[in-house]
Amino acid sequence: MCGIVGYIGTQQAAPLLLEGLTRLEHRGYDSAGLAVLGGSGLKVAKQAGRVRDLADGLPKRFGGKIGIGHTRWATHGPATDANAHPHTDEAGRVAVVHNGIIDNAAALRAELTAEGVVLASDTDTEVLAHLVARSSAKTLEQRIAEALGRIEGTYGIAVAHADFPDRLVVARNGSPLIIGVGDHEMHVASDLAALVRYTTTLAHLDDGEMATITAGGFTTYALGSIEGTGRPGLTATDRRAKEVDIDPEAYDAGEHDSFMHKELLEQPACAEAVLRGRLDERFGTGHLGGLNLDARELRAIRRVKILGCGSAYYVGQMGASLIEELARIPADAEAASEFRYRNPIVEPDTLYVAVSQSGETIDTLLAVQEIQRKGGRVIGLVNVVGSAIARQVDGGIYLHSGPEVAVASTKALTNMFLAFGMLAVQLGRVRDLSIADGKRLIAGLTRIPEQIDQVLATEADLALVAKRLAEAESLFFIGRVRGFPVAREGAQKFKEITYRHAEAYQTSELKHGPLALISPEVPTVAIVPDDELVERNVAALHEIAARGGPLVVITHESVDLGDLEGIVAGRIDVPRNERELDPILLTIPLQVLAYHAALELGHDIDKPRNLAKSVTVE
């Protein structure tokens, strides 16, 4: 969602800020803007639309070696030029960019209006610019502390002020902010993607922290209150920048037409990374040190509740199945976005698992906090190290997928499944899962990277099937039991990037309603693994075929489709693993189908309309 960049140093700020904003585009946005501070004061350019439109329309004289920039995802007010950030005070001396939401914005807007301030936008952020401008404190830092003291809500902010032309000030509460240290220059961003091209010497601000940034360095403070006065105040902290081991190439699509394609093909290597050092082949178990739970604590778990949003929720359903089957502990997954609104019962012997690629999804984060408030223990399956959810949970499993830039999640989702595989085996092995079964599953997990590679090697065939699917306005994705979350994820990926209506259904439920929609215009993608349900699944395919519904079947070579063989529009065989682990191998072709269908339709694959990479607002 919204993105922040900032620069102070020896170079012209605008081109660097525009470059940074381009690198944040994948997060999703609908307007963009810049403010630079130069010899002639503060200049602002902002508009609804793409970063390249902003770049094209930038005034010729837009010089200045200090600046801030923003990509906005509309929350308070529509995507208009006026609502784009940066926001300024009436005199145009303070410029603010902001990620997050100010909950008491309406009250503050009313108060400012009553005091005679003419507001220029519908946004919550604008109040910050006015509050900073109206403070009479001596230092910029204290003015900002006072403004922040008035607001309730979340923020990552960057502020430039014409009266303090040697600095930028940034602060964080719930929205990431990272400082990048260069050579006589400093960068700021809300996402690593905008920094790694310039520097890998980084400092992550904590919630409740502020930093003054000059061309030569930075100093940090904790936001608090001045003793005895209750007024907002600042205490110096000692945050230092650290050299971080990041491969800048990971943020570059290289020879691929999109990040999604690059990330699809990275999956075998990423899968190896999540498994590395975590499989105990001798005892047939997982070795997940980050859980912070010993065997006795693992043994005491009586239920597992998995929470995530979107694809993280669907893979959570796959995980719940794995845990129930292997550990025989009741397990289920629920959309984190719904969970906390039904006053959930939190039990001390339930293990709660929060699943999130970004570690920033607000619904998942708030669900974690609600559980913890009620005394529950939460572990995280998170990709982004040091993200809000990763820091909030009581332990967990990092996914080691590397940065995932495309909005459609692929490699992180695969690693979520593998993390669940290891967790299920480890939970099983402290219960009734035998050593032989444990070894069987550990060997199965070890085979998965190579098997993913085999599926990806069939990309050209999948592309042909995808072309046919792209023609349909509406599709079904069906599966049963282990196959149903696979179908849900397949439909999710398809609708996300092709904008086709794709609906997932339990194969067993077709007869109870949706069969009425089956026609030659509505293809069905069916998940038919060679498992205990294969005959029932094939029978359902006959029912679809009898009504003229085109079929694409994701299956195993050993499955005999009988006389359907001659009429299916596509048969995709994936390698077999252990039955419990098959879901992920059945998911990979669905990712590839969605990608090629979107390519065929000419969509912007990495930036699907209306979607953001991390959903940081409720």
Task: Look up 2 and say whether it is catalytic.
Answer: yes
What CA–CA distances, in Å, run from 34 to 107, 297, 528? Answer: 27, 52, 52
Task: Quote the strand ranges of 538-604, DSSP E.
Answer: 551-555, 570-573
> Which residue of the set 43, 65, 411, 613 is catalytic?
613
- Short-list 190, 25, 214, 58, CA closest to 616: 190
Taking each continuous run of H as one helix and of E as one strand, the counts in the chain are 18, 27
- Burial (Cβ within 10 Å: 0-12, 13-18, ≥19) of residue 162: middle
- The SS3 call for residue 211 is strand
Question: Is the distance from CB of 47 to CB of 33 less than 8 angstroms?
Answer: yes
The strand order across the sheet containing 551-555 reads 501-506, 474-479, 524-528, 551-555, 570-573
Residue 501 contacts by C-beta under 8 Å, 6 or more apart in sequence?
473, 474, 475, 495
Cβ of residue 604: shortest distance to ligand F6R, in angstroms? 15
Cβ of residue 337: shortest distance to ligand F6R, in angstroms? 9
Kindly state whether residue 415 participates in binding ligand F6R, applying the rule CB under 6 A: no
Task: Select 167 or 411, whichever has its Cβ closest to ligand F6R.
Answer: 411
Cβ of residue 374: shortest distance to ligand F6R, in angstroms? 22
According to CB under 6 A, which residues from 473 to 492 bind ligand F6R?
492
According to CB under 6 A, which residues from 541 to 580 bind ligand F6R?
none
- Short-list 511, 494, 512, CA closest to 503: 494
Task: Select 142 or 383, whichever has its Cβ closest to ligand F6R.
Answer: 383
Q: Which stretch binds ligand F6R (CB under 6 A): 142-150, 176-184, 353-361, 526-534?
A: 353-361
Cβ of residue 101: shortest distance to ligand F6R, in angstroms? 17
Cβ of residue 455: shortest distance to ligand F6R, in angstroms? 18
Instruction: In whole angstroms, give the CA distance from residue 120 to residue 90.
Output: 8
Task: Select 142 or 154, whichever has its Cβ closest to ligand F6R.
Answer: 154
Instruction: In whole angstroms, give the CA distance from residue 532 to residue 138.
Output: 74
Cβ of residue 365: shortest distance to ligand F6R, in angstroms? 9
Kindly state whether residue 498 participates in binding ligand F6R, applying the rule CB under 6 A: no
Task: Select 215 or 335, whichever has its Cβ closest to ligand F6R.
Answer: 335
Residue 512 contacts by C-beta under 8 Å, 6 or more apart in sequence?
none
Size of the site for ligand F6R (CB under 6 A): 17
Kindly state whether residue 105 participates in binding ligand F6R, applying the rule CB under 6 A: no
Instruction: In whole angstroms, give the CA distance from residue 296 to residue 482.
Output: 29
Task: Select 131 or 362, whichever has its Cβ closest to ligand F6R.
Answer: 362
Kindly state whether residue 199 participates in binding ligand F6R, applying the rule CB under 6 A: no
**What's the maximum distance between 2 C-alpha atoms anywhere in the chain?**
84
Show the binding pattern over residues 32-71: x = contacts ligand F6R (CB under 6 A), - = does not.
Answer: ----------------------------------------
Task: Select 326 or 390, whichever has its Cβ closest to ligand F6R.
Answer: 390
Show the binding pattern over residues 371-390: x = contacts ligand F6R (CB under 6 A), - = does not.
Answer: --------------------
- The SS3 call for residue 476 is strand
Among 357, 415, 587, 616, binds ligand F6R (CB under 6 A): 357
Among 31, 361, 414, 537, binds ligand F6R (CB under 6 A): 361
Host H or E run for residue 36: strand 31-38
Kindly state whether residue 409 participates in binding ligand F6R, applying the rule CB under 6 A: yes
Instruction: In whole angstroms, give the CA distance from residue 20 to residue 198.
Output: 10
Task: Select 439 or 501, whichever has its Cβ closest to ligand F6R.
Answer: 501
For 22, phi and psi rounded to 5 degrees? -60, -40
Residue 351 contacts by C-beta under 8 Å, 6 or more apart in sequence?
293, 301, 303, 304, 305, 377, 379
According to CB under 6 A, which residues from 501 to 530 bind ligand F6R?
none
Task: Look up 613 and say whether it is catalytic.
Answer: yes
Q: How far is CA 574 from the centre of its chain?
A: 28
Kindly state whether residue 310 participates in binding ligand F6R, applying the rule CB under 6 A: yes
Task: Select 410 or 577, whichever has its Cβ closest to ligand F6R.
Answer: 410
Kindly state whether residue 616 participates in binding ligand F6R, applying the rule CB under 6 A: no
Kindly state whether residue 358 participates in binding ligand F6R, applying the rule CB under 6 A: yes
Among 42, 312, 379, 592, binds ligand F6R (CB under 6 A): 312
Kindly state whether residue 364 participates in binding ligand F6R, applying the rule CB under 6 A: yes
Kindly state whether residue 309 participates in binding ligand F6R, applying the rule CB under 6 A: yes
Q: How many other β-carbons are positioned within 10 Å of the β-carbon of residue 426?
A: 23
Among 267, 285, 356, 537, binds ligand F6R (CB under 6 A): 356
Q: Which stretch binds ligand F6R (CB under 6 A): 105-113, 137-145, 308-316, 393-401?
A: 308-316
Name the amino acid, one letter, at 488: R
Instruction: In whole angstroms, give the CA distance from residue 10 to residue 64.
Output: 9
Catalytic residues: 2, 613
Binding site for ligand F6R (CB under 6 A): 309-312, 356-358, 361, 364, 407-409, 492-493, 496, 614-615
